[in-house]
Amino acid sequence: MAVMGLGVVGRRMIEQVALHRGWRIASAYDADPAVRAALQKDHPGCNVVDNAAAAMAHPGVDLVYVAVPPLFHHELVLQAIAAGRAVLCEKPLGIDVSQSQRLAQAMNQSGLPQAVNFVFSSSDAVDRLAQGLQAPDFDLRSIEIRLHFKEWPRDWQRGAAWLTQANQGGFVREVLSHFIYLLIRLRGPVRLCGTQVLSPVAGAAEISAQALLDAAGVPVSVSGVVGGSGPDVVEARFIGASQAYVLSDWYHLMHHDAHHPQGQKVQGLPESPRVATYQRQLNQLLSLLKAQPHSLASFDTALAVQVLIEAVLAQRQISDF
C-alpha cells in the first residue's frame, strides 16, 4: 500500500497495516515536509518519499490509499489511475458533485479495483444489525440519526483547518455521510424530503443540521448540532413496532424489546471493535484485489452518498445565534 496523506487517518492506516499479515506499507507521502519528518521519526522503517508520483511508482505498490483532504482527492486518484494502481479513497470523492461524477467515471473506465472508505462497510455490528432488521418479527417503523459534538473540529482533528470550511468540511460531510451510506446499504436509495442547515458565518462549516429522509418507505429523521456540554453523540436508532436496535459510537450495538426495555448488548461482537473493523477492512481490500466478494463501497456508491449530502447542505443559512 502507498499511503497518501499522513494526518490522523493516514497514520491510523499505517498502524493497522503493521498488525496485518497480508499488507505492508510500500511508501508514504504528505505534502508537508514537517509531517513527513515526523512520520519518519515515529516509524523509521517506513519508506517516506517527497512526492506523490514516487510514492505511487514504487514497485511494491498494489493499492494507493488517498487520505488527504477532499480538495486533493481528484488529483491523486487520477494519478493513481495513470499509474495503474487500485485505489482506496476517503470520502467525499471531490469538493462538488460534478467533479466527483467525472472521477467516478474515470475510475470505472479504468477497470482498476476501487473502494471508498466507509467505516460501516466492514463493521461486525452493522452485519448483526442487518440480520436483526431482516428477521421476520422485526417491523421497521422509523430511523433516527442523532449527532452532537461539543466542538468542531473534534479535539483530535484540531490540526485540520479544512474541516472548519463550508466548501469541504463540516460534520454533515465528515460524519453524516457514513450514516447515509449505512442507509443505502441497509435500505437502498434514499430520498431527501426536507432540510435546514445553519452556519455561524458565510464560508464556515455548519453548526446545526436537521433533515427528513425517506429510506425505501421508512421515515428517517436527522438531527445534528455543534456546541454545548455533555458527551459527543454519534447514534442511529432503528425503531420497530415492538423492538429496536441502537448503533452508537460507530461500533456498539444494543437491542431493545419488551423483556429488555433498557436494552442489552448484542453478543458476539469483537472486544476491540475499532481494531477489528480496520483489520476486517484490510481483509476485504485483499478480496477486492483478488476479485473476490466483499462489501466495500464503490465510487458509484460514494457518489450517491455525496449527491444526497450536498443536497442537504444546499439549503445552508447563516444563523442568528
**19: its cell numbers:** 498488525
Task: Taking residues 27-38, report their average pLDDT.
Answer: 97
| Structural contact between residues 256 and 279, judged by C-beta atoms closer than 8 angstroms | no
Kindly provide the b/e burial profile for residues 167-192, where b requires at least 16 CB atoms within 10 angstroms of the residue's own CB: ebbbbbbbbbbbbbbbbbbbbeebeb
**274: its cell numbers:** 475499532
Q: What's the length of the chain?
A: 321
Model pTM score: 0.96
**Which residue bears the cell 438531527?**
223
Question: Which class is domain 2-117?
Answer: alpha beta
In sequence order, what are the residues at sequence separation of 6 or more whose Cβ sits closer than 8 angstroms to the Cβ of residue 311? Answer: 192, 195
The per-residue pLDDT for 307 is 98
**Which residue bears the cell 513527513?**
36
Residue in 185, 187, 151 with CA at minimum distance from that of residue 171: 151
Q: How distant, in Å, are the alpha carbons of 75, 147, 172 from that of 179? A: 26, 10, 10
Secondary structure, 3-state, the chain: CEEECCCHHHHHHHHHHCCCCCCCCCEEECCCHHHHHHHHHHCCCCCECCCHHHHHHCCCCCEEEECCCHHHHHHHHHHHHHCCCEEEECCCCCCCHHHHHHHHHHHHHHCCCEEECCHHHHCHHHHHHHHHHCCCCCCEEEEEEEEEECCCCCHHHCCCHHHHECCCCCHHHHHHHHHHHHHHHHHCCEEEEEEEEEECCCCECCCEEEEEEEECCEEEEEEEEECCCCCCEEEEEEEECCCEEEEECCCEEEEEECCEEEEEECCCCCCCHHHHHHHHHHHHHHHHHCCCCCCCECHHHHHHHHHHHHHHHCCEEECCC
Q: Is the pLDDT of residue 178 over 80?
A: yes
| Mean pLDDT, rounded, of the chain | 96
What band does 65 get if pLDDT is binned at 50, 70 and 90?
very high
Name the CATH superfamily, with its identifier, for domain 123-270+299-318: Dihydrodipicolinate Reductase; domain 2 (3.30.360.10)
Beta bridge partners of 140: 240
Q: Is the pLDDT of residue 321 over 80?
A: no
Task: Taking residues 157-173, report their average pLDDT.
Answer: 93
Q: Is the pLDDT of residue 284 over 70?
A: yes
Residue in 14, 18, 16, 252 with CA at minimum distance from that of residue 123: 252
Say how far residue 278 (Cα) sits from the centre of its chain.
12
Q: Give the alpha-carbon dihedral of 167, 170, 171, 176, to 10 degrees.
A: 0
Give the whole-angstrom CA distance, residue 270 versus residue 267: 9
Q: Which residues belong to CATH 3.40.50.720 in the chain?
A: 2-117
**Which residue bears the cell 486518484?**
77
Dihedral sign of CA atoms 262, 266, 271, 277 in order: negative
Neighbours of 150 (CB within 10 A): 14
The per-residue pLDDT for 28 is 98
The one-letter code for the residue type at 99 is Q
Q: What is the pLDDT of residues 299-311, one digit of tens each?
A: 999 999 999 999 9
Q: Which residues belong to CATH 3.30.360.10 in the chain?
A: 123-270+299-318
Q: What is the pLDDT of residues 217-226, one digit of tens each?
A: 999 999 999 9
Residue bearing the bigger pLDDT, 315 or 297:
297
Q: Is the pLDDT of residue 94 over 70?
A: yes
